[in-house]
């Protein structure tokens, strides 16, 4: 781990500190003053899924933090955990304001189980979280703003996305050096684990977001296309495809 890496992580942590100075109540007022669509069930479903994702990410950040060797990386995860708690509180308030609750089924339930069961290097979980899950969530936030018609949800989504971009940046800065230290067989094992996690989560989409256009076939096609994208991203960070084929 180099001084240059440490410097970049400290600069990222400083940006996070500066971005989180506004009190939660002021942020919520900015969201609440936008009109809210009364019957946007997609926005409500998405807010429930995002809320569960925020809670999982907050828990994972605090569980992983002490396993990272660099103080600046630990500081970044600590600040991220605070961001995720704030995001969760905002999604909760959005749902409460509509008399709604998150669905019992979470898209990320298989990821949560796999995080708990994983016995290998922490980089596997960082890759799952900071590259794939948060990267996909960020892309999803963009899409969601086009498919929903709730200005209040769009304002919430934009505020959250600004923080999520920094969380994704943490993975891009930290992971190449951390992955460099792993053996080829560790990388292969992580790659297979990530692929299984991706398909287990994505095949739950029709169940957690039931929509007439979102059937099993469409989901599978989308999941395979996006997995190709994430494989390329993983390879760029230093986790090559290896021999892992598709399921
Ligand atoms: Fe978040
Ligand atoms: Fe995040």
- State percent of the chain over pLDDT 70: 97
Considering only residues 141 and 111, tell me which one the structure prediction assigns the higher pLDDT: 111
- Cβ atoms of 123 and 179 within 8 Å: the answer is yes
57 C-alpha vs ligand 2 centroid, how far in Å? 7
Tell me how many degrees the CA angle 11-65-172 measures, rounded to the nearest 5: 45
Residue 201's pLDDT band (cuts 50, 70, 90): very high
Place of tokens 């899409």: 143
- State percent of the chain over pLDDT 90: 78
Distance between CA atoms of residues 20 and 23, nearest Å: 8
| Domains of the chain in sequence order | 3-108+122-181 (1.20.1260.10)
Question: Does residue 158 register a pLDDT over 80?
Answer: yes
State the pLDDT at residue 204.
Answer: 94
State the pLDDT at residue 247.
Answer: 37
Task: Using a cut of 0.95, tell me whether the model's pTM lies above it.
Answer: no
84 C-alpha vs ligand 2 centroid, how far in Å? 6
Residue 1's pLDDT band (cuts 50, 70, 90): low
* Range from 28-42, 144-158, 182-196 that averages highest in pLDDT: 182-196
* Ordered DSSP codes for 56-114: HHHHHHHHHGGG-S-HHHHHHHHHHHHHHHHHHHHHHHHHHHTT----S--TTHHHHHH
State the pLDDT at residue 147.
Answer: 83
54 C-alpha vs ligand 2 centroid, how far in Å? 7
79 C-alpha vs ligand 1 centroid, how far in Å? 11
State the pLDDT at residue 144.
Answer: 84
State the pLDDT at residue 8.
Answer: 95
Looking at every residue in the chain, the average pLDDT score rounds to 92
Residues with beta carbon < 5 A to ion ligand 1? Answer: 54, 84, 87
Question: Does residue 243 register a pLDDT over 60?
Answer: no
Residue 103's pLDDT band (cuts 50, 70, 90): confident
Mean pLDDT of 49-62: 96
210 C-alpha vs ligand 2 centroid, how far in Å? 25
Q: pLDDT (tens digit, 9 = 90+) per residue, 221-241?
A: 999 999 999 999 999 999 998
Q: pLDDT (tens digit, 9 = 90+) per residue, 117-128?
A: 999 999 999 999
Question: Does residue 246 register a pLDDT over 60?
Answer: no
């Amino acid at each position: 781990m180099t001084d240059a890496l440490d410097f970049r992580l400290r600069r990222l942590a400083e940006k996070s500190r500066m971005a989180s100075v506004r009190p939660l109540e002021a942020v919520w007022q900015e969201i609440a003053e936008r009109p809210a669509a009364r019957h946007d069930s997609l926005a409500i479903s998405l807010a429930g899924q995002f809320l569960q994702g925020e809670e999982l990410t907050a828990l994972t950040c605090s569980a992983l933090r002490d396993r990272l060797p660099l103080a600046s990386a630990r500081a970044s995860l600590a600040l991220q955990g605070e961001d995720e708690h704030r995001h969760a509180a905002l999604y909760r308030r959005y749902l409460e304001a509509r008399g709604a609750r998150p669905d019992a089924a979470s898209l990320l339930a298989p990821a949560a189980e796999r995080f708990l069961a994983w016995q290998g290097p922490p980089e596997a979980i960082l890759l799952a979280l900071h590259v794939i899950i948060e990267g996909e969530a960020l892309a999803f936030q963009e899409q969601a703003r086009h498919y929903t018609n709730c200005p209040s949800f769009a304002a919430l989504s934009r505020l959250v996305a600004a923080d999520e971009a920094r969380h994704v940046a943490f993975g891009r800065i930290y992971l190449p050096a951390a992955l460099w230290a792993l053996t080829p067989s560790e990388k292969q094992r992580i790659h297979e684990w990530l692929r299984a996690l991706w398909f287990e989560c994505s095949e739950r989409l029709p169940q957690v977001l039931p929509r007439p256009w979102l059937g099993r076939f469409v989901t599978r096609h989308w999941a395979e296309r996006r997995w190709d994208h994430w494989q390329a991203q993983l390879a760029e960070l230093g986790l090559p495809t290896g021999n892992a084929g598709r399921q």
